[in-house]
């Protein structure tokens, strides 16, 4: 039973099929491998029975080899191998043998493995401690960041409040400056009001020659109404037209209805405006003939200058009336002569 021979020659296709999952280099290796595999197939059931009866501490391959080569029973081979192991063990206990180089290397490697495993355990402990420390530091970092964000919000709020404070300071300063300007303007307006009310008891003697002037930016309806709304234009006021050009009859009528004492003008009047103001006996004169001193929106001039302008206008108005009468008389004479000529 030590060798095995097939009952017939093995066909090539069977050899190929049986060795399909194995590696070989040539046909001889294939044939040998196929023979071995077929031999294993023939004895597979016997191998399983021997393995089932073989104790775990014995080499199963050794038991199978002795059973097949010696044609003995499994039990006999097991008993024989057990006796040999006990004999070797007794010999080893009483006479320690010298370790081979390979065994020494194995022992060194095992010792090294033990040291490495111990080192790994130490490293794992270190890693665990470091993980705990990292977690602690991350918690501290999170708290520090939270505190930093809180401080940043507080700094932004402080900055905002400082800016708001600066803005309020500027507004206060502007308001104080404006208040000072308004106080000064109020004082000037009081002086103008005193000038406009000659019976006011405490008007100084040196100011008796001054009269208020009501400036109007342009000789337009809008400008006249704006001036009237700002500081009022009443009958007997001195009106100062900064630009007298361009007014029509309706604008001139609006000004004439206010019954100003005199109109001081810059620039020339339109023919329509000049005629309407003349017909309504509103004195008009050049502004350069009066010394006008402006105070913000208001102004003053000398009473004597106003009277001089009015006197000059009255002289010119008288001449203008005489000229108109002369022209009217010439027209009537011409018409009369024309009728006489037609009747003759």
Number of domains in the chain: 3
Q: What is the pLDDT of residue 311?
A: 94
> What's the rounded Cα separation, in Å, for the pair 256 and 314?
17
Cβ distance 34 to 10 under 8 Å? Answer: yes
- The tokens for 288 are 């350069």
Strand pairing report for 238-241 and 262-265: parallel
Burial 162-200 (b: 16+ CB within 10 A, else e): eeeeeeeeeeeeeeeeeeeeeeeeeeebebbebbbeeee
Residue 254 belongs to some domain of the structure: yes
Domain boundary among 208, 228, 254: 208
Q: Do 29 and 85 fall into the same domain?
A: yes
Taking phi first (over 0 means left), then psi (-120 to 50 degrees means alpha), and beta for anything else, what does residue 259 get? left
Residue 115 belongs to some domain of the structure: yes
> What's the rounded Cα separation, in Å, for the pair 308 and 104?
142
Domain boundary among 62, 78, 94: 94
Residue 7 belongs to some domain of the structure: no
Q: What is the pLDDT of residue 294?
A: 80
Closest CA to 307 of 238, 252, 255, 235: 238
Strand pairing report for 284-286 and 298-302: unpaired
Q: What is the pLDDT of residue 1?
A: 43
Residue 5 belongs to some domain of the structure: no
Dump strand ranges (E) for 72-231.
210-216
- The tokens for 170 are 């500027």
Q: What is the pLDDT of residue 203?
A: 40
Bridge partners, 170 (sequence order):
none
Q: Do 18 and 84 fall into the same domain?
A: yes
Q: Do 200 and 286 fall into the same domain?
A: no
Range of the domain at 321: 209-340
3-state secondary structure of 288: helix
Q: Do 213 and 327 fall into the same domain?
A: yes
Residue 263 belongs to some domain of the structure: yes
> What's the rounded Cα separation, in Å, for the pair 48 and 43?
9
∠ CA 124-126-128 to the nearest 5 degrees?
Answer: 70
pLDDT tens for the chain, 344 residues long, are 455 566 677 788 887 887 888 787 888 888 888 777 877 776 777 777 777 777 777 777 777 777 777 666 777 777 777 766 655 555 555 556 687 877 777 777 777 777 777 778 888 888 888 889 899 999 999 999 999 999 999 999 999 999 999 999 999 999 988 888 877 777 766 666 655 554 433 444 445 578 899 999 999 999 999 999 888 899 999 999 999 988 889 999 999 999 999 999 999 999 999 999 999 999 999 999 998 988 666 688 999 999 999 999 999 989 988 888 888 777 787 777 777 676 65
Q: Do 178 and 290 fall into the same domain?
A: no
Q: What is the pLDDT of residue 205?
A: 44
Residue 6 belongs to some domain of the structure: no
What is the DSSP track for 247-298? --HHHHHHHHHT--SEEEESSPPPHHHHHHHHHTT--EEEGGGS-EEEETTE
Cβ distance 252 to 276 under 8 Å? Answer: yes
Q: Do 56 and 151 fall into the same domain?
A: no
Residue 273 belongs to some domain of the structure: yes
The greatest distance separating any two alpha carbons of the chain, rounded to the nearest whole angstrom, comes to: 192
Q: What are phi and psi of 55, to 5 degrees?
A: -60, 155
Q: Do 202 and 213 fall into the same domain?
A: no
Helix (H) or strand (E) holding 210: strand 210-216
Q: Do 216 and 329 fall into the same domain?
A: yes
> What's the rounded Cα separation, in Å, for the pair 212 and 192?
6
Q: Do 234 and 253 fall into the same domain?
A: yes
Q: Do 297 and 233 fall into the same domain?
A: yes
Q: What is the pLDDT of residue 252?
A: 93
Q: Do 223 and 203 fall into the same domain?
A: no
Domain boundary among 143, 177, 208: 208
- The tokens for 216 are 């109007």
Q: What is the pLDDT of residue 34?
A: 78
Q: Which residue has the tokens 């602690």?
A: 136
Residue 3 belongs to some domain of the structure: no
Q: What is the pLDDT of residue 199?
A: 44
Q: What is the pLDDT of residue 61?
A: 75
Q: Do 215 and 293 fall into the same domain?
A: yes
- The tokens for 65 are 């080899």
């Amino acid at each position: 039973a030590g060798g095995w021979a097939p009952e017939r020659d093995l066909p090539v296709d069977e050899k190929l099929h049986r060795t399909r999952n194995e590696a070989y280099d040539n046909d001889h290796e294939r044939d040998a491998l196929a023979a071995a595999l077929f031999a294993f197939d023939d004895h597979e059931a016997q191998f399983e029975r021997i393995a089932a009866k073989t104790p775990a501490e014995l080499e199963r391959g050794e038991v199978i080899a002795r059973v097949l080569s010696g044609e003995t029973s499994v039990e006999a081979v097991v008993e024989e191998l057990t006796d040999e192991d006990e004999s070797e063990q007794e010999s080893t206990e009483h006479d320690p043998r010298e370790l081979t180089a390979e065994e020494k290397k194995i022992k060194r490697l095992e010792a090294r493995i033990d040291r490495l495993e111990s080192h790994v355990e130490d490293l794992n402990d270190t890693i665990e401690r470091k993980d705990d420390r990292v977690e602690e530091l991350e918690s501290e970092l999170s708290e520090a960041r939270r505190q930093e964000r809180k401080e940043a919000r507080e700094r932004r709020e402080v900055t905002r409040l400082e800016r708001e404070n600066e803005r309020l300071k500027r507004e206060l300063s502007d308001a104080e400056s404006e208040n000072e300007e308004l106080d000064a303007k109020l004082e000037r307006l009081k002086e103008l009001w005193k000038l406009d009310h000659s019976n006011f008891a405490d008007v100084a003697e040196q100011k008796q020659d001054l009269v208020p002037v009501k400036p109007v930016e342009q000789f337009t309806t809008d400008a006249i109404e704006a001036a009237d709304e700002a500081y009022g234009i009443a009958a007997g006021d001195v009106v100062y037209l900064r630009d007298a050009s361009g007014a029509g009859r309706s604008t001139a009528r609006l000004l004439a209805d206010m019954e100003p004492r005199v109109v001081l003008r810059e620039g020339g009047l339109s023919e329509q405006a000049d005629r309407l103001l003349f017909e309504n006996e509103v004195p008009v004169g050049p502004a350069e003939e009066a010394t006008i001193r402006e105070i913000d929106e208001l102004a003053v001039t000398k009473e004597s200058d106003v009277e001089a302008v009015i006197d000059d206008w009255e002289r010119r108005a008288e001449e203008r009336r005489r000229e108109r009468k002369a022209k009217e008389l010439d027209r009537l004479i011409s018409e009369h002569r024309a009728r006489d000529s037609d009747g003759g």
